[in-house]
Amino acid sequence: NAGVTQTPKFRVLKTGQSMTLLCAQDMNHEYMYWYRQDPGMGLRLIHYSVGEGTTAKGEVPDGYNVSRLKKQNFLLGLESAAPSQTSVYFCASSYIAGGPGEQFFGPGTRLTVL
Amino acid sequence: AQSVTQPDIHITVSEGASLELRCNYSYGATPYLFWYVQSPGQGLQLLLKYFSGDTLVQGIKGFEAEFKRSQSSFNLRKPSVHWSDAAEYFCAVGPLMGGGNKLTFGTGTQLKVEL
């Protein structure tokens, strides 16, 4: 049981390049999330999904797109990377519960945009 | 709007000393509260959570937290800190409106342990 995995672990992009971050979970969770973590700002929600084929905007969605074609995978795309998108990106998943279930986090992807 | 405040950005304690990390929240109903820990270069791991019932919650690694509705607080405590507790700690509250079990996270408290 691997939990939540993220690919890649590190990436360096030039301004204007595109890339996709992959998140996979093997816990059969309905909900999945993408966060970015910046110093002094905690975790901020980029996009989230409440099930296969659904996505929704979070707190800071601009410049990102997401897709959830399969229940176990949640992809985060940067179409034209900017230096402001230099950050550590975390994926998380959660189960349906009477209230918010615990979110399980991946190990993160450190992205640098030059 | 829901929010979480962690007033201490950095805290330094000596190994063996007691620890209290503060968390204050703003929430319009009965909150669900969480404490997560992040070791360097790692993802976040759940320490403990409060949904209802007993306001003193026990978690992993010897941590506990107390929910105080009157003070809108959910402070994290440990009686005796170990060097391995050095990490960043995040308080979170939910659920947010709009579904999806979304949480709001505080900005974190960095804990340093002196040997």
Choose among B9, B100, B105: nearest Cβ to A48.
B100
> How distant is the Cα of A85 from the closest Cα of chain B, in angstroms?
18
Question: pLDDT confidence of A98, banded at 50, 70, 90?
Answer: low
Question: Which residues of A fall within a CB distance of 8 Å from B108?
Answer: 42
Whether residue B96 is predicted with pLDDT greater than 90 in this model: the reply is: no
Higher pLDDT, A40 or A86: A86
| Largest separation between any pair of C-alpha atoms in chain A | 44
State pLDDT tens for residues B36-75: 999 988 899 999 999 888 899 999 999 999 999 999 999 9
CB-CB: which of A42, A44, A101 is closest to B101? A101
Q: If interface means Cβ-Cβ distance under 8 Å, which residues of chain B face chain A?
A: 9, 32, 34, 36, 41-46, 49, 51, 90, 94-95, 98-103, 105-108
Reported as a single tens digit per residue, the pLDDT across B1-41 is: 789 999 999 999 999 999 999 999 998 888 899 999 999 88
